[in-house]
Amino acid sequence: MPLLQLAYASRPVEYDGGVLTAILIEARRCNMRDQITGALICREDLFLQLLEGPAEAVEATYARICADKRHEHVRTLMRREIADTARMFSHWAMKYDPADSPVWTREEVAVGVPEAAGMEGVVSVFGRLAI
């Protein structure tokens, strides 16, 4: 069965180690249950997350995430079907990356570069992290 791969960007409301840890623990617990894998890139100005898994589970998770008050300005960047063998983060319930990897700069995020990046641009950011 094909899977859904979805990426979004948002802005943390409060950027704090305790909040981040709580999000990751919760995300990993739910994602293991829901057969979802992915990655979360974090910086003061940016959450950038990729979710992949069964379509219904990914949509339900994304709906919960969109309603979460720990971030704001959620924008969907990419949504595509992938083969069930094509997960980018098959070994990660949610890989964490503190945006040390090459990702858009604060200035680029502020002027909307992620929204304009298109599918290839988004996949390439996560692709570097998946190596």
Ligand X SMILES: Cc1cc2nc3c(=O)[nH]c(=O)nc-3n(C[C@H](O)[C@H](O)[C@H](O)COP(=O)(O)O)c2cc1C
Pick the closest to residue 36 from 99, 105, 106, 92 (CA basis).
Answer: 92
- Our CB check for ligand X shows the closer of 16 and 120 to be 16
Is 26 a binder of ligand X (CB under 6 A)?
A: yes
Cα distance between residue 47 and residue 33, in whole Å = 23
Cα distance between residue 67 and residue 62, in whole Å = 9
Is 5 a binder of ligand X (CB under 6 A)?
A: no
Q: What angle do CA 13, 17, 23 make, to 5 degrees?
A: 65
Instruction: Single out the segment in contact with ligand X by CB under 6 A; choices: 44-52, 95-103, 107-115, 117-125.
Output: 44-52
**Minimum CB distance to ligand X, residue 112 (Å):** 19
Is 48 a binder of ligand X (CB under 6 A)?
A: no
Among 7, 37, 47, 58, which residue sits at the site for ligand X (rule: CB under 6 A)?
A: 47
